[in-house]
Amino acid sequence: MEIIRSISGMREFSGDCLQSNKSIGFVPTMGALHDGHLSIVRQSTGANDITVVSIFINPTQFSEGEDFNCYPRDYDGDIRKLDGLYGGKIAAVFMPEANDIYPDGYKTYVEVRGLSEKLCGMFRPGHFTGVATVVLKLFNAVNPTRAYFGLKDYQQCAVLKKMRDDLNLDCEIVLCPTVREADGLAMSSRNAYLSMEQRLDAPCIYKALKDTGHAIKNGSLKIKDIAAKLHETLSAVKSITEIQYASAYDPDTLDEITRGVRVLIAVAVKMGTTRLIDNILVEL
Ligand code: PAF
């Protein structure tokens, strides 16, 4: 497994792979790898000749006052986890330097209008512009045949698919199911911030999503009443200090809905300073 630290090195490596007709699966990450990431990597190694995993904590997707400086970093541990995994099909880890991605005088950003301002975008202004920009830059370095993203970040997936379509990118975007702890909490690098008490309360988020999902399926709850039900349930949880959003949304436009046959039920809450998001998609 090669460790590649520059855009030029990455382009050379991917150029060689493509010349020998090898498909490249790409898993962009910000490191602090957990089983959720590894399951995404497994999907990629199963479907491509080689896989590239990137580790880059992207400064432009963090707003002022967010956790950029203390975001969990364990580069050596991450490399150890990936080395030799899945039959050695992870050919490279791409770990660019921040000043290679954003050199002095950097001015170009990708803005996916319409989807970026909703849900998380209301509370993290500029976040999805940072995500779309870095993912496009990583795509240009890695030249992936397929790129893999986890559905826990549903809005990120929607924004990146739209960027792919609008910019005619020649890369398939593959969406991977959310991986959960045994008690239902969606895996996330930020779970490491939770205190013991918050961690014990955190599975209530998925439980609330599942309960409302079942209730709209069996007809005991109307879509228009999902927001009220979620707020009632989540506000009763001691560790939840803020509910940023919790409602039913159109899975394509991310607009809040009161009726429909495909319903995205999505939640963002804060437990102290830690922000947790989760969602389920219900087909009626
Ligand atoms: O989901 C993430 O870890 C990040 O948003 C991504 C896609 C690696 C871009 O920095």
Q: Is the domain of 168 the same as that of 219? A: no
Give the Cα separation of 262 and 252 in Å (integer): 9
Q: Is the domain of 47 the same as that of 129? A: yes
Give the Cα separation of 150 and 209 in Å (integer): 18
- Asked if residue 124 lies in contact with residue 151, where contact means CB atoms within 8 angstroms, the answer is no
**Catalytic site residue 37?**
yes
Other C-beta atoms closer than 10 Å to the C-beta of 143 total: 18
Last residue of a domain, one of 133, 151, 176: 176
pLDDT tens, residue by residue, 99-130: 999 999 999 999 999 999 999 999 999 999 99
CATH of the domain at 236: 3.30.1300.10
pLDDT tens, residue by residue, 208-265: 999 999 999 999 999 999 999 999 999 999 999 999 999 999 999 999 999 999 999 9
| Domain limits for position 211 | 189-283
Other C-beta atoms closer than 10 Å to the C-beta of 218 total: 8
Q: Is residue 208 part of a domain?
A: yes
Q: What is the 131 CA–ligand 1 centroid distance (Å)?
A: 6
Domain count, the chain: 2
Give the Cα separation of 218 and 240 in Å (integer): 28
Q: Is the beta carbon of 176 within 6 A of some atom in ligand 1?
A: no
Other C-beta atoms closer than 10 Å to the C-beta of 170 total: 10
Its pTM stands at: 0.98
Residue nearest to atom 1 of ligand 1 (CA): 29
